[in-house]
Amino acid sequence: MEDISSFDLVLFGGSGDLAMRKLLPALYNRHRNNDLPEQGRIIAVARQQMEREEYITLVREHCQRYLKARYNEETFASFAHRLQYLPLDANSPADYAKLKQLLEDNPGKERAFFLSTSSELFSAICTQLAAQGLAGNGARVVLEKPLGHDLKSSKKINDAVTRVFGEAQIFRIDHYLGKEPVQNLMALRFGNALFEPMWERTWVRDVQITIAEDVGIERRADFYDRTGALRDVLQNHLLQLLCIIAMEPPSSIDADAVRDEKLKVVRALAPFESPADVAARTVRGQYRAGAVAGQPVPGYLEESGVPEHSGTETFVALKTWINNWRWSGVPFYLRTGKRMQQRLAEIVINFHNIPHSIFPQGSSPLQGNRLVIELQPEEGLKLYLMAKRPGDKLTLKPVYLNLDFSDHFPEEPMDAYERLLTDVLRGRLTLFMRRDELDAAWAWCDPILQGWEAIGDKPKPYAAGTWGPAAASALVAKDGSVWHEES
Ligand code: BG6
């Protein structure tokens, strides 16, 4: 891998949940792997008044907790040399002047500002950075999702950021793009000739994409209740998976070649035409008390901090199409939810059944072939084929070829944020979202949100530990399909 030049990485929200749980453990891992140059500094900034030593203690506790066996005291001690802490009020010019001084102690480095704060602060932070002359050509800015809560608010934030930083300096994160198995989708599609001829409407009957979580809202009631499953996961992670599965082959792996193709997919998504169309093609759900992995768990409305009559969805499923030659008429079903039966992210490609059966009637129903791309918790591929059962009767049964990637790549996979942070430091934009992609994603989702509001749609209850409301099964059953795990 190409080397990273010496850098200053400034983490806004440096004492927050994302920094502690993901960003700092990811940086520690890259340090442990000797991927970071010796002079690379991590400058955490946050509101709290804290000494550097206190901050390091906080980071140590979190690294121990999240890295478990990968944590080592000696390695942490050398990692801690990189860490600085600066208390900063996002609106105080005097505090930015101190940041500037700290950065100028060490000029000539790559400079990246990671904004891991509420997106409401992005505009103020960028304006203040510009006022101090810190946003010049060499600087990069990293924006954590969610960027706004609809097209209008997202545009407002992006307008403010782009007044200061050029598009080539902006790294919009969707952490799913940093996941190893998600990048492996590109290898599957564009490193193999086998599937490509069948990757279209003549062969594919439908596509299902699921991101299911067994956890609930994890002390994020305030954020989650304002957000819901559509904005939290479908608008970004699920749409990104859809784009990679459905896009045309890009001419290269360069950022714009890939992002141009993804954008075409989002722009070709069948729009939601009316509230009635939204009602017919979407299902909202909200979990009730139930059991996950044998343990009783409370319902969404009983979670601490959730308003008593909240109408926020913790589950969403929908049906869409991609209006182009390759995919015309092929349903794409997307779903995501909290407190589902298990943690699972997968893409299922259902192929059409054979056109005519030569087998005796009753020799078990023939099923179309199915390719299951498992992204998490394990990374694998299963290809379902029909085979003859041993014996003197000619009966068939689906069996599958099973590829477990960990059998071939025993090395520890990189966490999504390790990959994304190193790409920021190297200045590689391929795995980040361009503004037009984000605008197109919101433009497609806005009518769904408006449709729900117009019809006063109430989320349908589902018991925690299940696969969501029955209406989600009905959504695919209307087309004669079933969600993969139910078959
Ligand atoms: C985040 C959402 O973007 O993705 C969370 O805000 C969700 O609600 C998380 O839990 C899921 O990511 P992963 O990597 O655990 O599948």
Instruction: Indicate the range of 49-58, 357-366, 434-443 predicted with least confidence.
Output: 357-366
pTM of the model: 0.96
CA 164 – CA 174 distance, rounded (Å): 22
Q: Pick from 149, 232, 239, 312 the residue to mutate for probing ligand 1's pocket: most ligand atoms within 8 Å of its CB.
A: 232
Nearest CA to ligand 1 atom 15: 213
> Average model confidence (pLDDT) for the chain?
95
Average pLDDT value for residue range 77-93 = 97
Nearest CA to ligand 1 atom 4: 233
**Which part of the chain is CATH 3.40.50.720?**
6-173
**What number does the ligand 1 atom closest to the CA of 236 have?**
3
Query: How confident is the model at residue 487, as a pLDDT?
Result: 47
**What number does the ligand 1 atom closest to the CA of 215 have?**
10
Which class is 177-361+432-486 in CATH? alpha beta
186-202 core/surface letters (b: 16 or more CB in 10 A; e: else)? bebbeeeeeeeeebebe
Quickly list H helices, 205-287. Answer: 221-229, 239-246, 255-268, 275-281
Contact 62, 21 (CB under 8 A): yes
- The string of pLDDT tens digits covering residues 282-293 is 999 999 999 999
Long-range contacts of residues 408-415, Cβ cutoff 8 Å, at least 24 apart: 413/180, 413/379, 414/29, 414/180, 415/22, 415/25, 415/26, 415/29, 415/178
Query: How confident is the model at residue 411, as a pLDDT?
Result: 87
Would the pLDDT of 364 be above 80?
Answer: no
Domain 6-173 is classified in which CATH homologous superfamily?
NAD(P)-binding Rossmann-like Domain (3.40.50.720)
Phi and psi for 193 in degrees, rounded to 5? -90, -15
Nearest CA to ligand 1 atom 10: 213
**Which part of the chain is CATH 3.30.360.10?**
177-361+432-486
Average pLDDT value for residue range 256-264 = 97
